[in-house]
Chains A and B, each alone.
Chain A
Amino acid sequence: MSYNPLAPDTALVILLLFGLLWVAFGYWLGRKNKTLDDYMLAGRNVGLALGTATAMATWVTSNTTMTAPQLTYQLGVWGMVGYSFGAVGLLLFAPLAGRIKEILPHGFTSGDFIRRRYGLSAWRIFLVISLFYALGWLISLGMAGGLLVNALSGLDYHLGMSVILLVCVSYTLLGGLRAVIATDFVQTIIILLGVIWIAWLVIDNVGIDTMHRDLSAGHPMLLQLLFPAAIMFLFNNLLFGVGEIFHSNVWWSRAFAFRKKTGTRAYLISGLCWLPIPIVAGFVALAAPSLGLNIPSPDMVGPMVAGRILGTTGAVIVFIVVFSALASSLDSLLAATSDLITQDIYRGHLKPDASDLQCFRVGKWVIVGLGLFTWLLCLPRLTTLASLLYFTGAFVASAIWPIVFGLYFRWANGRAASLAMLSGTGSGLLAYFQIGFYVAALVSCAVSLLVIVTSSFMGRHGNFDFAQLAAREND
């Protein structure tokens, strides 16, 4: 295509070089993994620096670097501000991470908590929600990889997507959570420097005045502060981010893996550092009209602006930045979802007497299976990144209240939590199709709150003893 700043061969060489680097790093780190705790939770001994970096890098996803520009191009200034509200999820999870480590010191997954706190029915509903979300996120990451490679180099979408998935599956398989966290640290530094540099070049090359003039003339609503859909999107995105983080095993596994008292500080610092990144990443989309770019698909606006501004050399940097962002999230998600399937499906449902060693082995096969499944679902480009991602909002936002009330209050009971998740998801999906993707999480969260409170106080009032969570299950 006329806007590809990279030759396909160059893109493939970068992919392979960085791929080999990450895989070798994963192998080197994986040699230290001797037990299930080592593999799944990095020995439960992750410190503040690595903890902060991994939380931040995981939350800076290809969705941040590609969907933030897309939402800015669709919803304007509020699109990028709203996307940055995703940081609230990290900030509010900070106290929860401390509480999780305190009341469930031997836990492995978020599913462990739901099962022991609410019982089997709520656990199974939660697992469906959590696995559906994880798969949606994995597909959006795989798709983003293919789109990025295609937008910047013209290299076939399927080839780029396949190579990126293969690399991430390989090093996660070899190194477990320890490799995921260590690569996240390096990837955070690359992402931060790259994103700031691109935004600076956009301002320097195009100029705020020119951008404002061209947007006012051709895309006036993007500058409009009373843009109705964007206003509706603001808190929806905040609650979607909260739902994603509160329920997902990606964040729970880190809470378990961090040293005592590290989780709260790590999530707080990472949230504050993450806040400006979507604004910076989304801002570049506003330069598209001034650059005379015709955006074929809204999720390609970020790479296209960067490619046009930066030329070949710069495009190499963009490529590495987004590849890093992709890898840092894909590996975390693969590891955490594999843990959830191994611990909650395999050990929880299929083989309750499985030893740690058996789970260790099964976990590796699950990572391979997940990678393969994601690859198959990414083959047809079914939808845009934002549409796919926000579809899952209806699911995850319904789990916010069962998690919060379940962690802190005795009165929340299993029946109320199950009803809240089911009704929240149902109403969120209805809102998604009847109104738009930008209200699905909001409606789901509101209905879930109403149901859990009403059902808990109208039905049999729970009186849960948190002390029973602290014991190992086989004690």
Chain B
Amino acid sequence: MLSSSGTVWPAQTLLSSDTTASSEGYFVLSWLSDGTDAGAPPQDTAASYILQQATRPDFADASTRLIHGQNSVTISGLENGSYFYRIQPEGDDWSNSLSVQVQHHSLRKALGFFSLGLLLFITLCVSIFAGIRLNLPSHPER
């Protein structure tokens, strides 16, 4: 099989991600193994897996988690950076490795949307308040 980057890997387990670039620091990794489909809804599989996450492509600084009986996992809360993943079914070879680039939206853009939201909220409150006052029985324009 051939990865998007052109790398050839053994055919046993295929690891994939729902995105290769995340602006929110979360994404879902899924893998094809024992006839299950990567990207399909979570399946009940009997297998156990070791998932490694690293910030270097050679996995020298990898952290490991053990996963039982599922073919996907949600990763969340990551800071900016490149993250590399690979998975190993129990007693089998490592899967392909893949990388996901996390680049959060700029704070300037985020605060821009925040300010717009705040402005809209204030406008909404003021509009309702003005509407109530305008329609009071004693108001001259009613």
Q: Mark each residue of chain A from 403 to 434: 1 if its CB lies under 8 Å from any CB of chain B, else 0.
A: 01101110000000000000000000000000
The number of chain B residues with a CB under 8 A from chain A is 47
Are A92 and B113 neighbours in the complex by a CB distance under 8 Å? no
Are A76 and B77 neighbours in the complex by a CB distance under 8 Å? yes
Are B113 and A439 neighbours in the complex by a CB distance under 8 Å? yes
Query: Complex formed: what's the CA distance from A322 to B99 in Å?
Result: 37
Does any Cβ of A come within 8 Å of B54's Cβ? no
Does any Cβ of A come within 8 Å of B121's Cβ? yes
- Least Cβ–Cβ distance between A241 and chain B, in angstroms: 11
Are A408 and B76 neighbours in the complex by a CB distance under 8 Å? no
- Given A220-B79, A381-B41, A407-B131, also A235-B72 (CB < 8 A): no
Count of A-B residue pairs with CB < 8 Å: 145
User: Given B42, B71, B78, B111, which contacts A300 in the complex, CB threshold below 8 Å?
Assistant: B42
Contacts of B74 in A (CB 8 A): 73, 295-298, 301
Which among B67, B68, B71, B74 has the greatest number of chain A C-beta atoms within 10 A?
A: B74
Does any Cβ of B come within 8 Å of A30's Cβ? no
User: Given A231, A238, A301, A405, which contacts B111 in the complex, CB threshold below 8 Å?
Assistant: A231
Does any Cβ of A come within 8 Å of B28's Cβ? yes
Are A449 and B67 neighbours in the complex by a CB distance under 8 Å? no
Query: Complex formed: what's the CA distance from A297 to B42 in Å?
Result: 7
Query: Complex formed: what's the CA distance from A219 to B65 in Å?
Result: 14
Contacts of A281 in B (CB 8 A): none
- Least Cβ–Cβ distance between B127 and chain A, in angstroms: 5
Are B44 and A228 neighbours in the complex by a CB distance under 8 Å? no
User: Given A231, A232, A294, which contacts B67 in the complex, CB threshold below 8 Å?
Assistant: A294
Which among B23, B105, B132 has the greatest number of chain A C-beta atoms within 10 A?
A: B105
* Interface of chain B residues 66 through 110 with chain A (CB within 8 A): 67-74, 76-79, 104-107, 109-110
User: Given A2, A95, A99, A409, which contacts B69 in the complex, CB threshold below 8 Å?
Assistant: A2
- Least Cβ–Cβ distance between B67 and chain A, in angstroms: 5
Are B128 and A298 neighbours in the complex by a CB distance under 8 Å? no
Does any Cβ of B come within 8 Å of A154's Cβ? yes
- For the complex with contacts A232-B113, A300-B42, A449-B123, 7 further pairs of A-B residues with Cβ separation under 8 Å are A76-B77, A92-B128, A234-B117, A239-B120, A297-B41, A400-B124, A436-B24
> Could you pull out 19 A-B pairs where Cβ atoms are within 8 angstroms?
A1-B42, A74-B76, A76-B77, A88-B121, A215-B77, A219-B78, A221-B104, A231-B111, A231-B114, A238-B121, A239-B121, A242-B124, A294-B65, A296-B73, A297-B41, A298-B76, A436-B24, A442-B117, A446-B116
